[in-house]
Amino acid sequence: MATIKDVAERAGVAPITASRVINSSGYVSDETRRRVEAAIKELGYVPNRIARSLRSKQTYTLALVLTDITNPFWTTVARGVEDVASEAGFSVILCNTDESEGKEHDYVRVLLQKQADGFLLVPAHSASRSVALIQAQQVPLVVLDRTVPRAVDTVRSDSEGGAYQLTRHLLVQGHRSIAMLSGPREVSTAMDRVAGYRRALDEAGVDGDLRMVIYGAFTQAGGYAMTKQILALDPRPTALFAANNFIAVGAFRALREAEMCVPGDVALVAFDDLPPTFLMDPFLTVAAQRAYEMGQTATQLLLGRLSGADSSIPREVVLPTDLVVRRSSHRQSTKNRSDINDLS
Amino acid sequence: MATIKDVAERAGVAPITASRVINSSGYVSDETRRRVEAAIKELGYVPNRIARSLRSKQTYTLALVLTDITNPFWTTVARGVEDVASEAGFSVILCNTDESEGKEHDYVRVLLQKQADGFLLVPAHSASRSVALIQAQQVPLVVLDRTVPRAVDTVRSDSEGGAYQLTRHLLVQGHRSIAMLSGPREVSTAMDRVAGYRRALDEAGVDGDLRMVIYGAFTQAGGYAMTKQILALDPRPTALFAANNFIAVGAFRALREAEMCVPGDVALVAFDDLPPTFLMDPFLTVAAQRAYEMGQTATQLLLGRLSGADSSIPREVVLPTDLVVRRSSHRQSTKNRSDINDLS
DNA sequence: CTGTTAGCGCCTTCAC
DNA sequence: GTGAAGGCGCTAACAG
């Protein structure tokens, strides 16, 4: 593997001169430049950015630590991150924590060691130690999707507002007994969504008796288990509110097993859209998050910090959610009506 | 940011001794070890892996260059890659080429410069220059999903076989006029799928007149456009074979716009499954690829090469596809039958 | 316009 | 058990 020294030798110049050609920095005569470029081509020289990073203390690498790339919401966020990052010349290292604090911490440690220039982190836990660790090393950080009790840049959706809208929608449809299939208590978005749900019910003067909040995992299995619990109740709620897309799918499956129809027997709404591309027949009423925008915005914010934007005041960007009404929340089955948002 | 020198000073030892403690290499007395460990903790020292990599020439980083993480097939592959990689202590840098050779080449160049230890590449093009570039730098490489005309490790699905099975399935259902909505000619999987389609028709002695292969992009828009073309034909085919999941979705949309029912008016099958998690109601007959396994296998192969497995003989791993028959290919609508593969 | 010197942070080699 | 010297590949800083 050729080094800059080899290039310099072959071109009959000093290494620093070759460096100047490679980085188009400083003055180099056309003649010299030509010779260096020829040497580079002849040797198939590839600059070693590791060495450069050691000197310059910039790796042009961002760390993206999220819970599970398999969830299309995160996939879309990741794509937003990667697009903005690569546009700015940064690479992205991707890690899946599966909501495990241990994994999260291990990843963060390694990525700090690898000198990532900045972090985009979805904390597995409100009390995540990772945030403190990153801040202690003075590495720029943007927290994604969730809040933590610390002064830190954050980009997230308006979970409270979205949940409020979704619950309002159900109330307007005439539902009074609405069960919430929530995520874990330790995750801020779960609690925010519960808060929005409660606010809507409070406003509507719905009895405490008719409120049900169950806490579980943000997974299909979680949604399935919570729904099973709900179905054992008597009287049963007339509507279910799933706190994310996976929970909704699990709930749907449990309902199907119980031979209950949506929306005939029970209405179902959810936070997070399922990607329209992958639903031949979009069906679920949702509060859709702007996932791609979240990734973009967070990365722009992070890159801003890297280029020295004053970070003394942490910024918090809250993106709105979009209520998309589809068939799953309609009293009367409207099997053949065209959907509000098309497959396009 | 504390360095190993700071740690050494504070512990009253030489840097190399601190290094030995950090890497648990060589002999260090318990007393010294304790002092060094205390210093590390007090300073919040984080070892600099960039510096280590410069010396050791190992970055413990793999490059994953694929077309679009937004496609659930690739998401799942990526997850398989990341799981195996992180288990072995490697990080994964993710890049989306969007099937652009230019982007691919740029990414590969940068990642070579960043001294990625190995590459997992989905070549945008059969004649990809990137493969040659990586091989010229003697960096281990596994090609994913597609083949290129070069001696190189490859992990892919049996596209020909899967397409054959799908076409057979349609023939058994009584279809004779089957149109193929293919991907680009430059992509080996597209051509392999066409080959499988042709073999099945040849065997069945289906006339050349009844064969239609259209080439387009592996996207929803591609599927939509190709289907529009098909719909303009007279007589129309009775079945469509989409060469991947996105094409199928685009086709479905075009059919819906034309007020044609699947499978009533026309049958539809596709290569690639849509992730069961995200189909409330799985519907499409497919040849499903083992995406997660593909990611795992490729990464294991790559890590094997890194640890010095003899690479003189390139290996080619071909994973089988799984035919999953669902409603979209049934003549008589069987609206309420339970699906062969459940949502589980 | 070009070159010399030195050092980024770490670890291999060899000596004590 | 421990340490000193040197170098991985590159580029600031300062000459010339």
Q: What order of strands is seen across the sheet that includes strand A267-271?
A: A211-215, A178-182, A239-242, A267-271, A285-288, A322-324
B258 touches chain A (CB under 8 A): no
Measured in angstroms, what separates residue A17's CA from nucleotide C5's C1'?
15
Band the pLDDT of A128: cuts 50, 70, 90: confident
| Biggest distance spanned by C-alpha atoms of chain B | 88
* Closest chain B CA to residue A58: B50
Measured in angstroms, what separates residue B131's CA from nucleotide C1's C1'?
39
pLDDT tens per residue, range A66-96: 999 999 999 999 999 999 999 999 999 999 9
Residue nearest to nucleotide D9 (CA to C1'): A51
Question: Does B159-289+323-343 match B58-157+290-320 at the fold level?
Answer: yes
Reading the block at residue A231, the tokens are: 């179905």
Residue B341 has a pLDDT of 29
Q: In angstroms, what separates the C-alpha of A69 from chain B's closest C-alpha?
A: 7
B220 touches chain A (CB under 8 A): yes
- The residue assigned the tokens 């997230």 is A156
> Among the CATH numbers 3.40.50.2300, 3.90.180.10, 1.10.1200.10, 3.40.309.10, which is that of A159-289+323-343?
3.40.50.2300
A78 touches chain B (CB under 8 A): yes
Interchain pair B343, A253: CB under 8 A: yes
Q: What is the mean pLDDT of chain A?
A: 91
Lowest mean pLDDT, pick from A117-126, A148-157, A303-312, A324-333:
A324-333
A221 touches chain B (CB under 8 A): no
User: In the complex, which nucleotide's C1' lies nearest to the CA atom of residue B45?
Assistant: C9
Band the pLDDT of A337: cuts 50, 70, 90: very low
| Stretch A97-112: mean pLDDT | 96
Instruction: Point out the residue among A75, A113, A277 whose CB comes nearest to the CB of B69.
Output: A75
Candidates B22, B42, B50, B262: best to mutate against A (most CBs of A within 10 A) is B50
* DSSP, res B308: T
Measured in angstroms, what separates residue B18's CA from nucleotide D4's C1'?
15
Q: State the burial class of residue B88 (Cβ atoms within 10 Å of its Cβ: 0-12, 13-18, 19+).
A: middle
Interchain pair A284, B279: CB under 8 A: no
Residue A217 has a pLDDT of 95
Helix axis angle, B30-43 relative to B15-23, nearest 10°?
A: 90
Given CATH 1.10.260.40, say whether it is the number of domain B4-47.
yes
A177 touches chain B (CB under 8 A): no
Neighbours of B255 (CB within 10 A): 21
State phi, psi for A338 to the nearest 5 degrees: -75, 150
Sign of the alpha-carbon torsion through A239, A243, A249, A251: negative
> Over its length of 344 residues, how does chain B's per-residue pLDDT go in tens digits?
789 999 999 999 999 999 999 988 878 899 999 999 999 999 999 999 999 999 999 999 999 999 999 998 999 999 999 999 999 999 999 999 999 999 999 999 999 999 999 999 999 988 889 999 999 999 999 999 999 999 999 999 999 999 999 999 999 999 999 999 999 999 999 999 999 999 999 999 998 888 999 999 999 999 999 999 999 998 999 999 999 988 998 999 899 999 998 889 999 999 986 665 556 566 789 999 999 999 999 999 999 999 877 777 999 999 999 999 988 888 544 433 333 323 22
pTM of the model: 0.93
Nucleotides of D under 7 A from a protein CB: 1-5, 7-13
What pairing do the DSSP bridges indicate for beta strands A322-324 and A285-288? antiparallel
Neighbours of A49 (CB within 10 A): 21
Interchain pair B92, A92: CB under 8 A: no
In chain B, where the domains are located? 4-47, 58-157+290-320, 159-289+323-343
Find residues 47-66 of chain A whose CB sits inside 8 Å of chain B: 47-51, 53-54, 59, 61
* Rounded (5°) CA angle B224-B73-B167: 60
Q: In angstroms, what separates the C-alpha of A259 from chain B's closest C-alpha?
A: 12
Interchain pair B94, A96: CB under 8 A: no
d(CA A125, CA B62): 28
Residue B210 has a pLDDT of 85
Contacts of A54 in chain B (CB under 8 A): 48, 50-51, 54
What pairing do the DSSP bridges indicate for beta strands B91-96 and B61-66? parallel
Reading the block at residue B298, the tokens are: 């490729």
Residue A332 has pLDDT above 70, yes or no: no
Interchain pair A95, B91: CB under 8 A: yes
pLDDT tens per residue, range B258-298: 999 888 999 999 998 666 555 656 678 999 999 999 999 99
Interchain pair B107, A86: CB under 8 A: yes
Band the pLDDT of A335: cuts 50, 70, 90: very low
- C-alpha distances (whole Å) from A226 to each of A98, A179, A182 are 20, 10, 9
Band the pLDDT of A280: cuts 50, 70, 90: low
Residue nearest to nucleotide D5 (CA to C1'): B16
Residue A117 has a pLDDT of 97
Question: Any atom of strand C under 7 A from CB of B56?
Answer: yes
d(CA A174, CA A214): 22
Residue B209 has a pLDDT of 81
Determine the CATH number of domain A58-157+290-320: 3.40.50.2300
Interchain pair B277, A96: CB under 8 A: no
